[in-house]
A and B are shown apart, each in its own frame.
Chain A
Amino acid sequence: LAKRLVRWFTYTIFFALLPLGISILIRGFTGNISLRSIANSPEFLFFSLMVTATALGDLSETFRSSLRTLTFDILRSSLLLGAVFSAILYGSFIYDSITNPEIDQFRIQLFGLTKWLAIVFGIVSTIAEAWIGRMESSP
């Protein structure tokens, strides 16, 4: 379990947060850092898409018919919906930034939602990894 969680935090969470960190760092260097500029970048959506997709992959990798419970089905479908909605919101974000590059009201509203999507699915994916680790260690 510990090995899986260390691998999860090192390779997935850290690497998924890297684009966001670099984007904030570069905005900080150029003196262009503000909530509005962060809301105008799609890195939060990349993060939630990457963590849900990796957790889904790990769930399907460790899938055994004996593990097929209601919890497994709900967890897998919620992660799948999280990945799909991250992609849909990313599409909406790109559409709005192409059609309304000057007016960023929709993107700021979207940011209010995407930050919660990223936080919730970051936590849920970590719980899913912990569950997989428990299942692997149990006989």
Chain B
Amino acid sequence: MDRPYGKLAMNSFQNILIWATVAVIAYGILGGVLALRAIFVDRDKSYRLKREEFLDLKRQAEKQIKKRDKDEK
């Protein structure tokens, strides 16, 4: 016995499966791109921030040393 409705359902199941998998692949690509950005861009940003923080602390320490030397004199 022919089952056209069953065949139709199977075809739409195949289409849903294919498009859902394509969407998952696209989402995976998005995740990969974001992770690459986190590896290369955000790391540089945090490095720059840490360096600025370090230079600021260094400047403060130098100022304090100069002040202490002046007081000792």
Count, chain A residues at interface, CB 8 A: 29
Per the bound structure, the CA–CA distance linking A124 and B24 in Å amounts to 12
In this complex, what residue of B is CB-closest to A85?
Answer: B24
Given known A-B contacts A116-B25, A138-B43, A106 and B14 have beta carbons under 8 A apart: yes
Listed stretches A11-19, A26-34, A36-44, A128-136; interface member: A128-136
Interface size class for chain B?
A: 20 to 34
Q: Which residues of B contact A77 (CB under 8 A)?
A: 27, 31
For A64-97 the 0/1 string (1 means CB < 8 A from B) is 0000011100110111011001001100100000
17 pairs, A vs B, C-beta closer than 8 Å: A71-B31, A74-B34, A77-B31, A78-B28, A78-B30, A79-B31, A81-B24, A81-B27, A89-B17, A106-B14, A109-B18, A113-B21, A116-B25, A120-B29, A121-B28, A124-B35, A127-B35
Residues of B in contact with A (beta carbons under 8 Å apart): 14, 17-18, 20-22, 24-25, 27-32, 34-39, 43, 46
